[in-house]
Amino acid sequence: MKIYLGADHNGFQYKQDIANYLTSTNYEVVDKGSLSIDPNDDFPQFAARTVTELLGNPDPEAKAILICGSGQGMVMAANRFKGIRASLCWNVEEARASRNDDDSNVLCLSSRYLSSEEVQSIIHTFLNTSFAGAPRFIRRIQALDELS
Amino acid sequence: MKIYLGADHNGFQYKQDIANYLTSTNYEVVDKGSLSIDPNDDFPQFAARTVTELLGNPDPEAKAILICGSGQGMVMAANRFKGIRASLCWNVEEARASRNDDDSNVLCLSSRYLSSEEVQSIIHTFLNTSFAGAPRFIRRIQALDELS
C-alpha cells in the first residue's frame, strides 16, 4: 500500500523517522516534501501537494500522513479538499475512532508531544483499522461531501 | 463576545456544560443544537449550521466551539468552509498554538477524554490568546484560503 507523506519544517524530522518506520514495515512511501528544514516551507503547500496525489490514486486504501508543529495547520488545509477526511490524532483511540467511524484517509500529527513509539502505535492503528461501514457512518460521510 | 456552540448526540452533555461555563464568565452563547440527545443527529449538519452563523457575524473576534465523540467529524466538517480555521485541541498548548499561529476561529473538542476543568482551561486559553499576526502566519492563512 502507498503512503503519501508531507510535512513542513517543524515536521521534517518526524517525517524522516516515519518514512523509515513505514519502509521497514513494507509500505511504499511517497515523500511529497519538505525535503529539507526550511523555515519558509509553509504547511498549506505540502498539505495540498500530498492530498492531491492521494486523491489521484485509484486505490481506495491509499492513505497520507501530514505533520507540522501543532498538527492544526495540516488538518485545516487537508480538510479543504473534497474526498479528504483528515483526522488529527494524539493517541491510538483517536486513530481507531477516526478510521472506524469516519473512514479517515489522512492522519495528521503534531511533532511536539509524542515519542517515537507512540507515533508508531498511532500509525499502526490508523493503517490497520478498517472503516466499520455502518449505515449511519456512511450517511455522515455523504453529508460531509455535500458541504461547501 | 458571541460564542456559537454545536454538538451531535455524543457532544450534547458537554455542550450544555460549556454553555453554562461560558454564560457564567459573561460570554453570550448561541446554541445551534443539537437540542436533545438523538442518535440520528449527524455531526455535519451541526457543524454547518454553527460555522455558517459564525461566518455571517461581522465581528472578527466571534468564535465557535464544536463537540462530537472523537472531535474528528467536527474538524473535518468545519474546515470544509472557506474562512473557517477549525482546530481540534486536547490540551492548552494546542489551544494556544492554534490561536497564536493559525488564528483558529473554531475550537473542536472530543467528549471522551477531558475533565470539566481541563475543558474549561482549554476554552479559556482559546478565547484569551490573540493571533500573533507574524507575516509568516498571515502568509500561511492566505495560502489556506486559496486552497480548493
- What is residue A105's predicted lDDT score, i.e. its pLDDT? 98
Conformation bin of residue A112: beta by default, left when phi > 0, alpha when psi is -120 to 50: alpha
pLDDT at residue B105 in the model: 98
Q: What is the pLDDT of residues A94-120, one digit of tens each?
A: 999 999 999 999 999 999 999 999 999
The share of chain A scoring above pLDDT 70, in percent, equals: 99
Cβ pairs A/B, distance under 8 A: 127
Q: What is the pLDDT of residue B47?
A: 98
pLDDT by residue for chain B (148 residues), tens only, comes to 999 999 999 999 999 999 999 999 999 999 999 999 998 899 999 999 999 999 999 999 999 999 999 999 999 999 999 999 999 999 999 999 999 999 999 999 999 999 999 999 999 999 999 999 999 999 999 999 999 6
* Residue A113, min C-alpha distance to chain B (Å): 10
> What pLDDT sits at residue B65?
98
At residue B49, the pLDDT reads: 97
Owning domain of residue A18: 2-145
Q: How many domains does chain B have?
A: 1
Indicate yes or no: pTM above 0.95: yes
Supply the DSSP string of B16-55, one letter for each residue.
Answer: HHHHHHHHHTTPEEEE-S--S--TT--HHHHHHHHHHHHH
Q: What is the mean pLDDT of chain A?
A: 97
The continuous run of DSSP H or E covering B87 comes out as: strand B86-88
pLDDT for A139 equals: 97
Give residue for cell 481506495: A60
pLDDT the model gives residue A103: 98
**Cβ neighbours of A85 in B, within 8 Å:** 76
Residue A11 pLDDT class (50, 70, 90 cuts)? very high
Cell numbers 513505514 correspond to A22
Residue contact A97–B45, C-beta within 8 A: no
More confident residue, A148 or B107: B107
Selected residue of A40, A66, A70 to mutate for chain B interface (largest B Cβ count, 10 A): A70
Confidence of residue A44 (pLDDT cuts 50, 70, 90): very high
The pLDDT assigned to A106 comes to 98
Q: Is the pLDDT of residue A123 over 90?
A: yes
Contact B110 A87 (CB under 8 A): no
Report pLDDT for B35. 92
B102 touches chain A (CB under 8 A): yes
Length of chain B: 148
Question: Tell me, what CATH number does B122's domain have?
Answer: 3.40.1400.10
Quick check: A148 pLDDT over 90? no
Q: Per-residue b/e over B126-147, b at no fewer than 16 CB within 10 Å?
A: bbebebeeeeebeebbebbeeb
Burial of B53 (0-12, 13-18, 19+ CB in 10 A): middle
Enter the ipTM.
Answer: 0.97
